[in-house]
Amino acid sequence: MRIGIVDDSALFRDGLTMLLASAGVEVVFQAGDVDQLLARIAEVPVDVVILDVRMPPTFTSEGIQAAARLRELIPELGLLVLSTYAETAYAAQLLDITTRSIGYLLKDRVSDTATLQDALRRIAAGESVIDPEIIQRLLARERHATTLGRLTERERQVLQLIAEGRSNVGIARQLHLHPKTIEHYIAGIFQNLGLPDTPDDNRRVLAAIEWLRDAST
Amino acid sequence: MSLAFSAFTTQGRRMDTRVVSVGTRTATTLLWLGGVAALASWGEFRPGGDSAWLAMGGVLIAVGFAVTATLLGLEGGQSGNAVLFAVLTLIWVCDQVASRDVGALTPVLLWIGGFTQLVAAAVLLRYPSSALDVWGRWFVGVTAAILGAVQLAIILTGTRADWQTSELADGPWPTLIRAPALNDALWELRWIVWTVAGPIFLVLLVRRWRRLGFIERRTLSPILVTAGITTVMISLRLADDQLPGVGPQVMEGVRAYAAVAVSAAFALSALRMRLERGDVATLASDLHGPVSIEEVRDALRRALGDPGLEVWFWVPEQDTYVDAAGAAGTLPDPHDRLLAFVSDSHGAPMAVVLTDISLERHHQLVDAAVAVSRLALENARLQASLRARLVEVRTIQTRLVHTGLEERRRLERNLHDGAQQRLLGLGMRLGALANTVEDPETTMSIDAARVELQHALEELRDLARGLYPVALTQSGLASALEAVTERLPLEVTRDVPDRRWPPDLESTAYFIACEAMSNACKHAGECTVRLRVYEKDNSLVVDVTDNGQGSTYLTAGGTVRGIRDRVEAAGGRLTVRSTVGVGTRLVAELPCG
């Protein structure tokens, strides 16, 4: 798998490159800002680009805007956005762009090789990846207590994994269950939450997160 | 001693000169008015002549014009119009006298008298300025030329009888060619000139009225309205024959009295301007005792009849003029406002009175009013400098708030770009190292180090987020408050509009909301919180309500001190109500701009 990295911190870029190299993943280019990225990506084809959210010039959400632009330019390119803070609003903005081959993770999450490799593989396979911290925070909201109380422990686990962006097969593997059983669980959860059941894994992520965010009660 | 004496005599002599000058002026005025009245009425009231009320009209017009000329002459900057009015008076008297027994002079006086309406029109188009505009000059010039020629031709081709002068009129007539048909045509032409000139004059009059300042409109409107009506009446000779039961004689009278009205309106307006000076005299009693800035200003507004008048004060400490509210400002262009500067008793700048530019023609009046109110202005200046100090304090406060927030943003960014990225990079390196090491003991040490690093990163992240949430700059209050409430250990319902306000206002509102919610976590016990942010009456309102146990010491100050400081620094207002067993409500209103 060929990876491109764009982050304004050279220290972070080098650390990430070293980590990926040690795991046998090839980083074909590094860029310090969006302009450099756009110049390099035209020359060197990659499978997934890892982007920092905060980059020059305004250090707010350049990474998300760059992701939107890249998706338009090269639709098949996988996008993993990394952030120092896990913000639900950023995750939602990213999922607004697309729910296919896109990810949003905390930066310290990816110092774990297994997590990083798993995320890259899933993104390359067309799945979406959302940081578990965000989903846990949303699930912990008291206002969901009544509705979520109706779910079993297992069903809550499945919901968390759905919202993180995993496919039925992925969930089954994680929980050591049969995919058919997972499908059964999912149907139950969606009925309980009053969500339209859809076979499309990615659209399911968005539906679950929107339900959990449910900003104005 | 001798010095004092000489000063006394100088004073005395000056007084004498003044008395003599006043006496001379009064005598001249009386002689002028008396002469005009006598000439105008000479031979008028006699059996067989015009009816008495018609004759009276002629005399009244003459006296009205003469009085106006006198009043204008006494007013500064109106000498040109005063002379024009005197000329108008004399022309009118010529016209009146022409019909008496003056022999060979009759045709000359008639010719001169023919210009009466035109000279009156010229004054109306000028007053109170001292020149005609370009359209006015064309109108008066062209009409004068045509009228002069036509009148002369009428006289030279006709006889004394054409002028309907009475049997008394006897004497030579300068007939050049006797041509009755031509003469009739010329009379007709004269009427046409008048019927064309009348509407043009009206148009010019309306155009002029529209361009006047409000103070001038107030003074001139009565004159312009009567003049307009009179012009219409003079131009409509058709009415003579068409109004049933009204003879030409009656119409003649109505016209004459309409002209009297114009002359009277003029005299009244001139008189009014003189009387306004009397308003200035009442200023002194209005401004008796200590008065506020607003009282001085309002008294000056009344005295000068300018509702837009403003008073600015010089604040030496700030080296600038400030307005009534104490805000520093740049003086307007002297072409837009009339500026009357006032100095204190040491000659240093003290205040400036800003009036409508149309008062420039009455600058003596303004100067007098300002002179009378100087002492009151000096008192009001103390108040103004206090207000200016307050405005300055407020500005500094705003700047401090801004600097504080700016510093938070900078610190957060330094932490993010520096320490956080460095530690994250280190985590990656440790991760890479763990992949290459096979010795279990080393792997354990590396894992332990990574756990420590994770804790350090979390602490640093909380610290940085507390300093300044980046979501606030990027997506505004709604997003930033969503992020913060998500992490709180209690249930919060949010009602925050997804819109933007100025950065410092958003930050202040954000920190107030955070602190209020964190208070609820600490003191309210088991509860839910309702957070509402909305705009009302140009204020951004942050309303945090919980249904917790309530706490009396929450309202006492200590806990909300931080919030109160923030609200006050932003120039806003804070209300906190806490009832034991019911809950606590905190409402902060922050001015939007």
What is residue B533's three-state secondary structure? strand
Selecting from 1.10.1740.10, 3.20.20.10, 3.30.1330.60, 3.30.565.10, what CATH number does the domain B476-591 have? 3.30.565.10
Contact yes or no for A87 and B471 at CB 8 A: yes
pLDDT of res. B10: 43
Tens digits of residue pLDDT in B101-147:
677 788 888 888 888 888 888 888 887 777 888 888 999 999 999 98
Whether residue A209 sits in one domain with residue A160: yes
Whether residue A117 sits in one domain with residue A157: no
| Residue in A closest to B450 by C-alpha | A111
Beta-carbon pairs below 8 A across chains A and B = 106
Chain B (350-379) residues lying within 8 Å, Cβ to Cβ, of chain A: none
- Give the predicted TM-score (pTM) of the model: 0.61
Last residue of a domain, which of A101, A130, A159?
A130
Average the pLDDT over B404-427 and give the result. Answer: 92
Whether residue A167 sits in one domain with residue A104: no
Contact yes or no for A107 and B471 at CB 8 A: no
Whether residue A156 sits in one domain with residue A120: no
Query: Which residue, chain included where needed, has tokens 């996008």?
Result: A79
Whether residue A96 sits in one domain with residue A42: yes
Average the pLDDT over B555-560 and give the result. Answer: 66
Tens digits of residue pLDDT in A6-64:
999 999 999 999 999 999 999 999 999 999 999 999 899 999 999 999 888 888 888 99
Rounded to the nearest angstrom, the minimum Cα separation between B399 and chain A is: 23
Tens digits of residue pLDDT in B463-505:
998 899 888 888 889 989 988 888 888 888 899 998 999 999 9
Say yes or no to pLDDT of B40 above 80: no
Distance between CA atoms of A122 and A131, rounded to whole angstroms? 13
Q: Is A146 on the interface with B (CB under 8 A)?
A: no
Angle (CA) B16 B32 B104, round 5°:
145
Whether residue A125 sits in one domain with residue A19: yes
Number of H helices, E strands in chain B: 20, 10
User: CB of A63 within 8 A of CB of A7?
Assistant: no
Rounded to the nearest angstrom, the minimum Cα separation between B491 and chain A is: 6
Contact yes or no for A89 and B471 at CB 8 A: yes
Q: How many CB atoms are closer than 10 A to CB B248?
A: 11
Last residue of a domain, which of A130, A154, A188?
A130
Q: Where are the domains of chain B?
A: 29-272, 290-389, 476-591
Q: What CATH code is carried by the domain that includes residue A175?
A: 1.10.10.10
Whether residue A91 sits in one domain with residue A166: no
- The most confident of the ranges A113-117, B50-54, B472-476 is A113-117
Identify the CA nearest to A158 among candidates A147, A172, A138, A145: A172
User: CB of B392 within 8 A of CB of B318?
Assistant: yes
Residue in A54, A141, A217 closest to B470 by CB: A54
Contact yes or no for A84 and B474 at CB 8 A: no
Last residue of a domain, which of A130, A152, A174?
A130
B172: preceding bond cis by omega (within 30 degrees): no
Whether residue A87 sits in one domain with residue A9: yes
Whether residue A140 sits in one domain with residue A82: no
Whether residue A83 sits in one domain with residue A9: yes
Q: What CATH code is carried by the domain that includes residue A61?
A: 3.40.50.2300
Residues of B whose CB is below 8 A from A60 = 470, 473-474
Whether residue A110 sits in one domain with residue A147: no
pLDDT of res. B179: 81
Tens digits of residue pLDDT in B141-195:
999 999 899 888 888 888 777 776 554 456 777 888 888 888 888 888 888 888 8
| Residue in B closest to A108 by C-alpha | B424
Q: Is A9 on the interface with B (CB under 8 A)?
A: yes
Say yes or no to pLDDT of A216 above 50: no
| Residue in A closest to B466 by C-alpha | A85
Domain that holds residue A53: 2-130
Rounded to the nearest angstrom, the minimum Cα separation between A184 and chain B is: 30
Please name every residue paired with B588 in a beta bridge, in sequence order, or none if there are none: B542, B574
Q: Would you say domain B29-272 falls under CATH 1.10.10?
A: no
Q: Is A165 left (phi over 0), alpha (psi -120 to 50) or beta?
A: left
The answer to whether the complex's ipTM is over 0.90 is no
Whether residue A146 sits in one domain with residue A124: no
Residue in A9, A22, A54 closest to B436 by CB: A22
Residue in A22, A90, A217 closest to B435 by CB: A22
Residue in B429, B454, B482 closest to A108 by CB: B454
Residues of A whose CB is below 8 A from B464 = 84
Average pLDDT score, chain B: 82
Instruction: Give chain A's domain count.
Output: 2
